[in-house]
Amino acid sequence: DVKVTQSSRYLVKRTGEKVFLECVQDMDHENMFWYRQDPGLGLRLIYFSYDVKMKEKGDIPEGYSVSREKKERFSLILESASTNQTSMYLCASSIPNRSSTDTQYFGPGTRLTVL
């Protein structure tokens, strides 16, 4: 089974802090994604990466950056956390082709609260 893990289930930070959210997948997937999930807004894509050191902006990249130094690890960075970044953050991975395995696999999520 594919496993996607996220470094923390719950995180509380203060405004202005630099925050790192880590995601690791164990199935050698090329694609990795970061979403945030908010009530009434569903999932919104922040960034995705289709290879090591490659990244593409999603729909809401402002206030975030990412790092992909190794294939299995995709980090989301909040340079200076703000209260409007309080949310559930979901990481996912997938294989980039139209085979039967083009499904996205999700981690358990990190619920971040910024005070």
Partner 1 sequence: GDSVTQMEGPVTLSEEAFLTINCTYTATGYPSLFWYVQYPGEGLQLLLKATKADDKGSNKGFEATYRKETTSFHLEKGSVQVSDSAVYFCALSDDYGQNFVFGPGTRLSVLP
- Footprint of partner 1 on this chain (CB under 8 A)? 4, 31, 33, 40-43, 45, 48, 50, 90, 92, 94-98, 100, 102-109
CB of 54 to partner 1, least distance (A): 11
CB of 110 to partner 1, least distance (A): 10
Closer to partner 1 at the Cβ: 82 or 101?
101
DSSP 27-78: S--SEEEEEEEETTTEEEEEEEESSTT--EE-S--TTEEEEEEETTEEEEEE
CB of 46 to partner 1, least distance (A): 13
DSSP state of 11: E
Closer to partner 1 at the Cβ: 43 or 77?
43
Alpha carbons 106 and 63: distance in angstroms, whole number? 23
